[in-house]
Amino acid sequence: MSTNQSRRDFFKTSATAAGGLVLGFGWFSSEAFEPGVLTKTAADTIDFNAYLAIAPSGIITIYSPNPEIGQGIKTAFPIIVAEELDADWSKVKVEQAPLDTKKFERQVTGGSGAIRHSWERLRKAGATARAMLMEAAAKKWSVPISECSTSKGFVMHSSGKKLSYGELATDAAQIAPPTTVKLKDKSNFTLIGTSVKGVDSKDILTGKNLFGIDYKREGMLNAMIQRPPAFGLKLKSFDATEAKKMPGITDVVSFGNKVAIVGKTTWEVMQARKAVKIEWEKEKDLESSADHDRIFKEMLNSTTATVHRKDGDIEAAFKNAYKVIEAEYQCPFLPHSPMEPMNFFAHFKGDSIEMAGPSQTPQSAQNQIAKMFNMAPEKVTIELTRMGGGFGRRLNTDYAVEAAELSSIIKAPVKVTWSREDDTAGGIYRPAVRYRFKASIDKAGNITGYMLHGAGMNAGNATRPDNFPVGAIENTLIQSNDHKSPITTGPWRAPITNFLAYAEQAFLDEVAMAGGKDPIQLRMELLDKSIKSPVGKITYEPERFREAIKLVADKAGWGKKKKGVYQGFSVYFSHNSYVAQIAEMANVKGKPVLKKVYASVDCGIVINESSAQNQVYGAIVDGLGHAMYGNLTFKDGAPQQDNFNKYRLIRYNEVPDIEVHFVKNGIDPTGLGEPALPPTGGAIANAIFKTTGKRLYNQPFSEQGATLG
Amino acid sequence: MALFNLKINGKTYKADVDANTPLLWVLRDHLDLVGTKYGCGMAMCGACTVHVNGEATRSCVVPVSNVSNATITTVEGLSETGTHPVQEAWDEVDVPQCGYCQAGQMMTASALLAKNANPSDKEIEEAMVGNICRCGTYHRIHDAVKLAAAKMKK
Ligand code: FES
Ligand code: FES
């Protein structure tokens, strides 16, 4: 495979005073590319738009721009570069790049999009450097390049001579980057697809300072912030006389409906916080969970829904139906509960500000902070720390912006740390949602009409109008209503589909039962139809869907009677990847007990087998845990759960066996941080139905008698 | 405020703090031992687990005055370079996702293995149930505990 590239993709190579090759390339840009300026960073490597530097010592430094949240991106990106470079992985050093909007595009962790977005660019970077090293060697030996090859950090000549990349790096820097570069045949990959350990693992396991919450600077103060205890309240007044007298406290200030307690150490601040007397007053409606239940029902019965997709004539389909199946599913609010609570460091310096902390979207933090201070964005620098999870919470920038504001008020470097209670009760939640489904079937059990009505909160559109089975059914109607709630909401791992998939997959199970079809057979027939005579626009590839289904059915022995084993099936396409799951349960004295989950995953080429497995296991455990227990309720605007004593997360003893299989199709890679989560709730619900005959229409399942472990 | 001489990881650390300050915050804010993590502050998640006289202990709920004469080990004291069998096993199994909970997980596991070289699955479960991993790395934690046990026997 040979790819053309413009000069501008690889605009600069350079040898440094100490020698070595530094190759700058646009990791993300698709076309236009502005040459960068050389800046010195270390004695023997210089980086400008530098993503790849080879020092004479042979050490290869690769800069990873995307924020690491546990999805393994900091390891996966360099693997792709190293593969095409034929580097010796043990000599590769990976460094986290800071936020730099000039050098990088899409420094975002979200939407499972990083690998898909950067795959080709990363490969070209490695291949370009490799070509230059080969050319340098060929020149040195005065031999044709065609007689040279590379392996594990060496260029070899057919005569047996060899030179290491380190030895060649300085010469290679004199060579102009090639305009065409040959990428490896995928069958020759030696690093991609193997198991590579996380590049930060050693530091994690020895307790190094890695996370935002660990961040420290000379003279830094610590702060905690009291935010309104209920959504809909605002600050009326506060009295900090007592708190200010307490040991270690330097300041108590208020801004934007919040009161910040600032002091020397976290514990002192926590103590003083309890002594601040605050009065709040009502500003907006104070909603309770019972209000939400009522609002959902009103929305589903309203005639004002926004229509997102319409195929054929749904009313006629219902009228002419052999049978009509109707059901409603509801899911609650969820906090993200990352193990590392929100935090951020800020040091306001008048005409600039230095920030450091965990963010999934540092650029948007930068823009908002710049706007707040009326500064140019480049005056806001952001150091990216490793994130102790995020699950979408750190796509919001509230906690970074407030740290910046606080630092500007107290005129000192400060780290704001959220307590667990702050983190849970001051969230930007996955909003609750209710879905109404209605399907018509003919005598043979085929679906003739399919309606989905979503009732969401601050979701805009709580549906995904083009998702399967849409595209395989003649008559469809997808619509939604939305309620504007004062409770703050935002994306949560696999936004919308995290709950929608459960509801859709459970409802399809109901339709299969009603029509006397096997649940997998029903899906396969629909996919067949979407191949042969698709209805309207289709955003998924039915063939890939089918392969994923076949793989999991085969591995789990679907349809083969296993004694005492009840299986539930689910499959979902999200973030460009396909995941099918089969949950197996036993009936223990009338109770469904989850034994095993099988998963098949089509995310195209797997970059790092170990990390990919880890992601899928984790997403299934996440999906299972939240489907079972996740439930944040409200009373008069106040969250009723604020720590792990009241808000239950899944634990060690509750996870079933999990078996993961990847579809091997050599297709370019797609996302994996999210797609394995959506199918889980449906697989569990469908297995519970098989085991007990009880259909679970609401999450969390534990509140309807389901247990784990 | 009171002056404490704390025996941590084989060294003596001085801390001039309020006697009620939890060990967790003394480690993190005063002694720069930030490997021990804050997760819940109420003994529900295990992120802050350290060894106090060999016992896995939630440092977020232990006042420093209670441990002024104790022998304390934190993740930094398992080994500085990652050579403790539990750290090695965690690395070999490639356990971490975000990694935030893992210090606590390893401290719980290492305390268990120091007492019980050959724990049954049930015993591992009883020890590990107090440590939450939000990323869901429980399967690998299980494999790593087993591997560490095997390493320690050698
Ligand atoms: S922080 Fe101590 S148990 Fe959670
Ligand atoms: S690895 Fe992220 S919480 Fe355990």
Verify whether ligand 2 is closer than 6 Å to residue B133 (CB atom): yes
Contacts of B99 in chain A (CB under 8 A): 70, 198, 200-201, 204, 210, 386, 388
Q: What span, in angstroms and rounded, lies between the C-alpha atoms of A363 and A51? A: 19
Cβ density class A540-551: b for 16+ within 10 Å, e for less: bbbebbbbbbbb
Whether residues B10 and B66 share a domain: the answer is: yes
pLDDT tens digits, A274-321 = 999 999 999 999 999 999 999 999 999 999 999 999 999 999 999 999
Do A586 and A633 fall within a single domain? yes
Interface test with A, best of B58, B100, B107, B131 (most A CBs within 10 A): B100
Is the CB of B94 less than 8 angstroms away from the CB of A655? no
Query: CA nearest A415 in B: which residue?
Result: B29
Q: Which residue out of A200, A339, A614 has the highest number of ligand 2 atoms within 8 Å of its CB and is therefore the one to mutate?
A: A339
- ipTM above 0.90 for this complex: yes
Chain A touched by B63 (CB under 8 Å): no
* A375 and A267 part of one domain: yes
Range of the domain at B126: 85-153
Question: Which of B135, B139, B140 should be mutated for ligand 2, with most atoms under 8 A from CB?
Answer: B135
Domain boundary among B28, B55, B74: B74
In A596-655, the residues whose Cβ lies within 8 Å of chain B are 610-611, 614-615, 617-622, 625, 643-645, 649-653, 655
Other Cβ atoms less than 10 A from the Cβ of A32: the count is: 8
- Would you say residue A160 lies in a domain? yes
Of B74, B99, B119, which one is at a domain's C-terminal end? B74
- Check if B99 has its Cβ closer than 6 Å to any atom of ligand 2: yes
Answer yes or no: do B69 and B95 share one domain: no
**Does the CB atom of residue A204 touch ligand 2 within 6 A?**
no
Report the pLDDT value the prediction gives residue A425, as an integer from 0 to 100: 97
- B74 contacts in chain A (CB < 8 Å): 207
A108, A231: one domain: no
Same domain, A130 and A223: no
Is B97 a residue whose pLDDT tops 80?
Answer: yes
Which CATH number do you get for residue B57? 3.10.20.30
Judge if B10 and B59 occupy the same domain. Answer: yes
Q: Distance (Å, rounded) from C-alpha B53 to C-alpha B51?
A: 6
Domain contains A289: no
d(CA A329, CA A445): 22
B32 within a domain of the structure (yes/no)? yes
Task: Decide if A207 and B103 are in contact by the 8 Å CB cutoff.
Answer: yes
Same domain, A471 and A502: yes
Instruction: Flag whether A237 is in a domain.
Output: yes
pLDDT at A6: 44
Contact A365, A307 (CB under 8 A): no
Q: Is residue B15 part of a domain?
A: yes
Is the previous residue joined to A469 through a cis bond, with omega within 30 degrees of 0?
yes
Chain B, 87-106: which have a CB under 8 Å from a chain A CB? 87, 90-91, 94, 96-103, 106
- Residue B129 domain-assigned? yes
What phi and psi values does residue A559 have, to the nearest 5 degrees?
85, -15
Residue A543 and residue A663 in contact, taking contact as beta carbons nearer than 8 Å: no
**Residue A40: what pLDDT?**
31
B92 with B114, same domain: the answer is: yes
Is position B135 within any domain? yes
Taking CB atoms and a 6 Å cutoff, what residues make up the pocket around ligand 1? B 38-41, 43-48, 58, 60
- Do A651 and A534 share a structural domain? yes
Both B7 and B54 in a single domain? Answer: yes
Q: Whose CA is nearest to atom 4 of ligand 2?
A: B133
Last residue of a domain, one of A417, A452, A483: A417
CB contact under 8 A, B28 and A643: no
Residues A535 and A663 in one domain: yes
Q: Compare CB distances from A651 to B25, B103, B129 and report the shortest one's residue.
A: B129
CB contact residues (below 8 A), chain B span 110-129, against chain A = 125, 128-129
Quote the Cα angle for A585-A589-A590, to 5°. Answer: 65
Domain count for chain B, please give it.
2
**Are A71 and A198 found together in one domain?**
yes
In a domain, A290, yes or no: no
In a domain, B80, yes or no: no
Name the residue range of residue A354's domain. Answer: 212-283+342-417
Distances (CA, A) of A292 to A233, A287, A429, A672, A706: 18, 7, 14, 33, 24
Q: Which residues of A644-660 are buried (b: 16+ CB within 10 A; e: fewer)?
A: beebbbbbbebbbebeb
| B44 is a domain residue | yes
Flag whether A356 is in a domain: yes
Name the one residue in this structure whose structure tokens are 């906090």: A335
Task: Please check whether residues A577 and A524 belong to one and the same domain.
Answer: yes
What is the longest distance spanned by two Cα atoms in chain A?
Answer: 83
Same domain, B6 and B63: yes
- Indicate which ligand has the atom closest to the C-alpha of B47: 1
Q: Which atom of ligand 1 is nearest to the CA of B61?
A: 2
Same domain, A519 and A387: no
- Identify the DSSP state of A8: G
Three-state DSSP class for residue A645: coil
Same domain for B55 and B90: no
Q: Has residue B45 been placed in a domain?
A: yes
Scored b (16 or more CB within 10 A) or e, B87-107 reads bbbbbebbbbbbbbbbbbbbb
Report the CATH number that the domain containing residue B97 is assigned in CATH. 1.10.150.120
- Whether A569 and A582 have beta carbons less than 8 Å apart is answered as yes
Q: What strands, in cross-sheet order, belong to the sheet with A591-602?
A: A566-574, A577-588, A591-602, A657-662
Domain-ending residue, one of B47, B74, B101: B74
**Which among A618, A610, A660 has a CA at the least distance from the CA of A193?**
A610
Distance, in Å, from the CA atom of A706 to the CA atom of A686, rounded to the nearest integer, reads 12
Ligand nearest to the Cα of B131, by number: 1
Query: Tell me, what amino acid is at A268?
Result: E
Contact A339 B37 (CB under 8 A): yes
Domain boundary pick from A390, A417, A444:
A417
Q: pLDDT by residue (tens digit) across A78-129?
A: 899 999 999 999 999 888 776 766 666 556 666 666 777 778 888 888 998 9
Give the orientation angle of helix B138-153 with respect to helix B102-115, to 10 degrees: 40
The minimal CB distance from A339 to the residues B36, B39, B139 is found for: B39
- B90 and B69 share a domain? no
**Could you give the number of structural domains in chain A?**
3
- Indicate whether A392 and A479 sit together in one domain: no
For residue B43, give the ligand 1 atom closest to its CA.
3
The residue among A155, A185, A206 that closes a domain is A206
Distance between CA atoms of residues A683 and A509, nearest Å = 10
Same domain? For B11 and B67 the reply is: yes
Which chain A residues in 177-216 lie under 8 Å from chain B, judged by CB atoms? 195, 197-198, 200-202, 204-211, 213-214, 216
Contact B136 A216 (CB under 8 A): no
* Residue B79 within a domain: no
CATH number at residue A239: 3.30.365.10
Q: Rounded to whole angstroms, how far apart are CA atoms A668 and A186?
A: 10
B37 vs A: CB within 8 A: yes
- Asked if A204 and B96 come within 8 Å (Cβ–Cβ), the reply is yes
Instruction: Mark whether B63 and B125 lie in a shared domain.
Output: no
Predicted pLDDT at A72: 79
> CA–CA distance from B117 to each of A13, A205, B113, B145 (Å)?
56, 21, 5, 10
Residue A422 lies in a domain: no
Name the minimum distance, in Å, from the CA of A212 to any CA of chain B. Answer: 11
Q: Are residues A631 and A575 in the same domain?
A: yes
Low-confidence ranges of chain A (pLDDT < 70): 1-18, 24-51, 98, 100-113, 709
Task: For residue B24, give the ligand nearest its CA.
Answer: 1
Assess whether B99 and B48 both reside in one domain. Answer: no
Å between B76 CA and nearest CA of chain A: 6
Could you tell me if B66 and B89 lie in one domain?
no
Cis peptide before A700 (omega within 30 of 0): yes
Burial of A7 (0-12, 13-18, 19+ CB in 10 A): exposed
Length of chain A: 709
* pLDDT given for residue A5 in this prediction: 46
